[in-house]
């Protein structure tokens, strides 16, 4: 048991404790071969794919190079809106912070415009957080709508969102949305409209509750990204795969889940973020788990997804992948984790979501200096 444990932990303990010279030479040789293999096997292929091997079948995304490849330069010839127009669909009486976090994070990263479509009760509160956001108080909850009015009100909500849809580069659906049945029904129609308009969507929070119970909303849509936390992921696995989460085969199960749903990109949040192209992002990170970090992530992924999509359309030769949803997920995950790390270094246990948001710009500048 001692020898087995030493091998699994990197051979350090066995080298010190074993008395056999032959055994020590064997372990030294294995270490050397392991280092050589890690550093030299398929080097050219890894560089071209923009990823690097970690262990087993797991792939660690080369997140910083992805960030550099898809982040646009600041060009004085560009006009307002070309760096991204993001819309958040969420915010109700109980939850006003989540849509704000997602929308303001998009601006802090570099999007030009950020909209929030929320309920009337939430609008004034969200507007008070920042004048930078464009807030649309158009969503309705059941308590404010009579049964005989629901069809008419639903049509008005959809018509209001439709007026703006073609302007958006990405939607974030779910932060602070709540689970009111009428509100969710309206958002279902908005998702369908986004698909018809070929607008990418990032689904988080209560948006995941909605699509878990109505998988046809996102099934087969390659421009959809789902960002479940541990509990949201568990519900998806139980619903779609009819089994429990298997952490021993995490990547394989994530792939199966994405494939069964059909064409979507999954970003499973955790100590390491797993992305359904069998890629993980584990650089940076913070032990502090304050609420709201998922909202920052969804806003971040939305911006980077839109940037990746534009870069691919422009034929950028530095981008080998043609999947903007996957690239946006990698970049959003890495930047969020770096900002959380910097905030924790400064604030430690008192780190809040607002602290992390303030480090988004510096984090991106560290990796992609303005040029």
Which 3 state secondary structure label does DSSP give 202? strand
Per-residue pLDDT tens, the chain, 371 aa: give them. Answer: 333 333 343 333 333 333 344 344 344 333 433 433 343 333 323 333 433 333 334 589 999 999 999 999 988 888 888 889 999 999 999 999 999 999 999 999 999 999 999 999 999 999 999 999 999 999 999 998 999 999 999 999 999 999 999 999 999 999 999 999 999 999 999 999 999 999 999 999 999 999 999 999 999 999 999 999 999 999 999 999 999 999 999 889 999 999 999 999 999 999 999 999 868 999 999 999 999 999 999 999 999 999 999 999 988 878 878 899 999 999 999 999 999 999 999 999 999 999 999 999 999 999 999 87
Structural contact between residues 171 and 87, judged by C-beta atoms closer than 8 angstroms: yes
Rounded-to-integer distance, Cα 226 and Cα 268, Å? 8
Which 3 state secondary structure label does DSSP give 290? coil
pLDDT of residue 32: 37
Rounded to 10 degrees, what is the CA torsion of 174, 178, 180, 186?
Answer: -20
Phi-psi bin for 42: left (phi > 0), alpha (psi -120 to 50), beta?
left
Rounded-to-integer distance, Cα 17 and Cα 20, Å? 9
pLDDT of residue 47: 31
Strand residues in 31-104 grouped as ranges (E):
51-53, 59-61, 85-89
Binding-site residue ranges for (6S)-NADPHX: 176, 229-235, 295
pLDDT of residue 56: 36
Burial class (CB in 10 A: 0-12, 13-18, 19+), 174: buried
The hierarchical CATH code for the domain 85-367 is 3.40.1190.20
Rounded-to-integer distance, Cα 42 and Cα 62, Å? 15
Binding-site residue ranges for ATP: 269-273, 285-294
Binding-site residue ranges: 176, 229-235, 269-273, 285-295
pLDDT of residue 58: 52
Residue of 371, 365, 296, 282 lying closest to 332 (CA atoms): 296
């Amino acid at each position: 048991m001692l020898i087995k444990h030493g091998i699994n932990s990197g051979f350090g303990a066995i080298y010190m404790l074993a008395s056999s010279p032959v055994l020590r030479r064997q372990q030294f040789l294995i270490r050397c071969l392991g280092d050589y293999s890690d550093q030299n096997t398929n080097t050219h292929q890894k560089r071209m794919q923009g990823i690097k091997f970690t262990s087993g079948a797991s792939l660690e995304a080369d997140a910083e190079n992805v960030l550099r490849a898809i982040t646009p330069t600041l060009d004085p010839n560009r006009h307002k809106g070309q760096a991204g127009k993001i819309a958040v669909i969420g915010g109700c009486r109980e939850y006003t912070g989540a849509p704000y976090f997602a929308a303001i994070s998009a601006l802090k990263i570099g999007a030009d415009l950020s909209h929030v479509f929320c309920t009337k009760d939430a609008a004034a509160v969200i507007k008070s957080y920042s004048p930078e956001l464009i807030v649309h108080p158009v969503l309705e909850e059941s308590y404010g709508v009579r049964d005989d009015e629901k069809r008419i009100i639903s049509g008005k909500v959809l018509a209001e969102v439709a007026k703006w849809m073609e302007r958006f580069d990405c939607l974030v659906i779910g932060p602070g949305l709540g689970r009111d049945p009428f509100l969710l029904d309206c958002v279902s129609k908005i998702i369908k409209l986004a698909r018809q308009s070929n607008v990418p969507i990032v689904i988080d929070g209560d948006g995941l509750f909605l699509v878990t119970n109505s998988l046809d909303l996102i099934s087969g849509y390659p421009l959809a990204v789902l960002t479940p936390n541990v509990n949201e992921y568990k519900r998806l696995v139980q619903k779609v795969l009819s089994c429990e989460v298997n952490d021993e085969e995490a990547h394989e199960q994530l792939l199966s889940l994405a494939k069964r749903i059909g064409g979507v990109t999954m970003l499973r949040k955790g100590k390491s973020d797993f992305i359904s192209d069998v890629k993980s992002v584990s650089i940076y990170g913070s032990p502090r788990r304050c609420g709201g970090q998922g909202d920052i992530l969804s806003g971040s992924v939305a911006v980077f997804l839109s940037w990746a999509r534009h870069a691919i359309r422009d034929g950028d030769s530095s981008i080998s992948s043609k999947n903007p949803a996957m690239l946006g997920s990698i970049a959003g995950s890495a930047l969020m984790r770096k900002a959380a790390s910097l905030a924790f270094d400064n604030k430690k246990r008192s780190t809040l979501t607002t602290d992390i948001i303030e480090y988004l710009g510096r984090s991106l500048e560290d990796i992609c200096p303005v040029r």
